[in-house]
């Protein structure tokens, strides 16, 4: 480790003139070192014991500082191999005016899209699914849930519901849902998307490999066929540190409505 990096372990004790708790000082020093690029993504930190010796503080103090930094996503801990500076996310810029699929979006950026299947099956519909997909209470619904990955980075969790009339066999979906719909002439041509901010829960955080409670985007997409029939109702959780959604805005004409619910 360089001299500059070693500096992050030098902290000032109360008796030497600083009142700040030791773990907060240590935490701030490490945070500053990451921000200034003194240590970079993927760099390993010394062991808890070594940091305690270098900083002349207890291991409990080191543990508390490190745990806080893991919680805020600055450091990551891998069992058996230690503590590292978290990898930097390359943000993906996503247009809000084009109806594209995850597979298309990643291909356009030269990334490889893959998925881990969380579920694909046929279920009795929920009240939301009945209402949005226009199902009768006796009809079943197809559900396709996936963890979406770009290269090796988990980007989003997508839980799609579709009427069995357009997707009679969800098990037949391969790597792309929209490709499967295209094959049967049911690829959507229009969609309404609602985006809101959430703090991610424990189960989804584990899948996306982000700290519990971190800022994410909840995205609901309702897609339509040219006939106006709703084809897809998808609820997704996107990593907040991975996406920038971009929309082009134009001055509204005098007759156009401002806002209001869709
Ligand atoms: C996007 C949308 C989803 C849609 C998916 C289809 O990610 N947010 O609503 O279901 O694309 O992607 P693919 O065809 O790669 O499965």
Which of 43-47, 166-170, 193-197, 245-249 has the weakest average pLDDT? 245-249
Q: What is the pLDDT of residues 97-137, one digit of tens each?
A: 899 999 998 888 888 999 999 999 999 999 999 999 999 98
- Residue 260 pLDDT greater than 60, yes or no: no
Task: Give the mutation target among 92, 96, 100, 102 for probing the ligand 1 site: most ligand atoms within 8 A of CB.
Answer: 102
User: What is the rounded CA–CA span in Å between residue 158 and residue 237?
Assistant: 7
Tell how far the Cα of 16 is from the centroid of ligand 1, in angstroms.
Answer: 58
Name residues contacting ligand 1 (CB within 6 A).
101-103, 158, 160, 176-179, 221, 232, 234, 236
pLDDT of residue 152: 85
Q: How confident is the model at residue 15 (pLDDT cuts 50, 70, 90)?
A: low
Q: What is the pLDDT of residue 259?
A: 55
Q: Which atom of ligand 1 is nearest to the CA of 191?
A: 9
What atom in ligand 1 is closest to the CA of residue 173? 16
Residue 236 alpha carbon, nearest atom of ligand 1: 8
Task: Give 86 Cα–ligand 1 centroid separation in angstroms.
Answer: 28
Q: pLDDT tens for residues 153-179?
A: 899 999 999 999 999 999 999 999 999
Residue 14 pLDDT: 58
Three-state secondary structure along 111-141? Answer: CCEEEEEEEEEEECCCHHHHHHHCCCCCCCE
């Amino acid at each position: 480790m360089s001299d500059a990096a070693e500096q992050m372990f030098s902290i000032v004790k109360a008796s030497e003139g600083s009142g700040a708790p030791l773990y907060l000082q240590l935490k701030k020093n490490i945070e500053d070192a990451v921000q200034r690029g003194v240590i970079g993504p993927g760099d390993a930190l010394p062991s808890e014991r070594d940091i305690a010796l270098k900083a002349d503080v207890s291991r409990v103090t080191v543990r508390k500082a490190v745990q806080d930094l893991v919680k805020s996503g600055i450091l990551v801990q891998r069992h058996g191999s230690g503590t590292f500076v978290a990898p930097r996310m390359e943000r993906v810029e996503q247009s809000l005016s084009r109806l594209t699929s995850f597979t298309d979006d990643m291909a356009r950026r030269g990334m490889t899209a893959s998925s881990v299947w969380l579920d694909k099956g046929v279920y009795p519909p929920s009240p939301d699914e009945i209402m949005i997909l226009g199902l009768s209470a006796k009809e079943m619904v197809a559900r396709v849930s996936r963890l979406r990955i770009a290269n090796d980075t988990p980007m989003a969790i997508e839980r799609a519901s579709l009427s069995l009339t357009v997707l009679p066999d969800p098990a037949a979906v391969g790597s792309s849902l929209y490709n499967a719909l295209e094959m049967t002439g049911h690829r959507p041509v229009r969609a309404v998307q609602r985006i809101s901010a959430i703090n991610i829960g424990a189960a989804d955080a584990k899948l996306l490999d982000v700290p519990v409670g971190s800022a994410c985007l909840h995205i609901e997409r309702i897609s339509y066929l040219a006939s106006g029939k709703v084809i897809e109702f998808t609820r997704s959780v996107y990593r907040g540190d991975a996406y920038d959604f971009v929309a082009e805005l134009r001055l509204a004409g005098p007759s156009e409505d401002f806002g209001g619910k869709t």
